[in-house]
Amino acid sequence: MPTYHALSLFSGGLDSILATRMVMAQGLSVLGLHFVSPFFGKPQAVAAWERDYGVTLEVMDIGQAFVDMLSARPAHGLGKTLNPCVDCKILMLRHARALLSHYGAQFLISGEVLGQRPMSQREDTLNAIRNDAGVRDLLLRPLCAKHLPPTPMEESGLVDRERLGAMHGRGRKPQLELARVMGISRIPAQGGGCRLTEKESARRYWPLLQFSALRAEDFHLANVGRQLWHGRHWLVLARNERDGQVLRSLRRPGDLMLQLDQLPGPTGIARPLPGAVWDVATVQQAAATLAHFAPKARTADAPVRVRIDDGGNRSTVEVLPACCFAEPPSWECIREAKAQWMQESSPK
């Protein structure tokens, strides 16, 4: 097992690349940790990043820990959408800290730049992140290190403070100049990458967040297809063949799979959640809704048959197409409900 001087939080964004490379340029070995969850992460890009940026990476799935944190109301609040950036950083740093001894590493690296983001990169917030994550003496922020007190790694001479950065604020020019000096030609696009910052994705997640005992796989399912709700009953319909393949791969025991019989139409998954009983009438409504989104069924002008497969039993129901399920609330409704949701002590 190779060992490293440091572990770096490596999102694939330019700051994380530069922070990692800045420490590597001092002759220190660094392993980049690429965290993934239903909300962020590009594990499929890791091989290209290793090749393009000359870094070594490991993919770390923190999906369930992230869902637990989000579901329990993030202690440091939410950003503009449903993004709990401060708690997210703390969670990642805690995970990275727990891996230090596994990789024989002595310190952690993150690519934050003082003053770059209003919520998570103010000086007081950077301190809170460092302290709450329990990495006070372990965390180096190479890009803005000269604006921060020296760390034990600098004081001991392991890291040369003179060769660290003094970046500050929202501008990207210093990063682009440093990338040029480092010979990095493939510059990743700015922003993006976290679905929790996107209003349309937030709409997918919001109904789920009203439940307890959520699993990461529930949010993977929320990322796919057409999301439809009837009270506490959740139905996901594929919009195309690719959605259908993903839906089938995400199916888990207890899910109902719905499909039109002898007519083309979307694949559907109904996932039972706590407190939502799928009785015969509700299954009929889900089947009618699935038929509503199948043009051939809608124009049939007669009842159509929908196959229901619960993993053990198969049955067929006859329905007239009708949209009995609704799309999630608008972002405006969610924004209004967000503050109250944060105050609730636990999901219902």
List interacting residues with ligand SF4 (CB under 6 A): 40, 83-85, 88-89, 194, 196-197
Distances (CA, A) of 47 to 9, 54, 55, 63: 16, 10, 10, 21
Bridge partners (DSSP) listed for residue 61: 36
Nearest distance, CB of residue 153 and ligand SF4, angstroms = 23
Is residue 180 classed exposed, middle or buried when 0-12, 13-18 and 19+ CB atoms within 10 A define those classes? exposed
Nearest distance, CB of residue 241 and ligand SF4, angstroms = 30
The phi, psi pair for 2, rounded to 5°, reads -65, 150
Nearest distance, CB of residue 338 and ligand SF4, angstroms = 15
For ligand SF4, the closer of residues 77 and 150 by Cβ is 77
> 215: which 2 tokens?
């699993």
Nearest distance, CB of residue 85 and ligand SF4, angstroms = 3
> 139: which 2 tokens?
């965390």
297 within 8 A of 260, measured Cβ to Cβ: yes
Nearest distance, CB of residue 197 and ligand SF4, angstroms = 5
Nearest distance, CB of residue 7 and ligand SF4, angstroms = 17
What is the C-alpha separation between 226 and 301, in angstroms, rounded? 24
For ligand SF4, the closer of residues 95 and 292 by Cβ is 95
Nearest distance, CB of residue 32 and ligand SF4, angstroms = 15
For ligand SF4, the closer of residues 12 and 244 by Cβ is 12
For ligand SF4, the closer of residues 83 and 175 by Cβ is 83
Nearest distance, CB of residue 88 and ligand SF4, angstroms = 3
For ligand SF4, the closer of residues 197 and 282 by Cβ is 197
Q: What is the dihedral of CA 272, 273, 278, 282, to 10 degrees?
A: -100
Helix, strand or coil, per DSSP, at residue 228: strand
**Token pair 């139409």 is at which residue?**
265
219 within 8 A of 68, measured Cβ to Cβ: no
For ligand SF4, the closer of residues 195 and 233 by Cβ is 195
> 220: which 2 tokens?
């993977």
For ligand SF4, the closer of residues 66 and 103 by Cβ is 66
Helix (H) or strand (E) holding 132: helix 123-132
Distance between start and end Cα atoms, the chain: 45
Can you spell out the DSSP letters for 38-70? SSB--GGGHHHHHHHH--EEEEEE-HHHHHHHH
> 26: which 2 tokens?
């001092």
For ligand SF4, the closer of residues 84 and 266 by Cβ is 84
What is the C-alpha separation between 55 and 53, in angstroms, rounded? 6
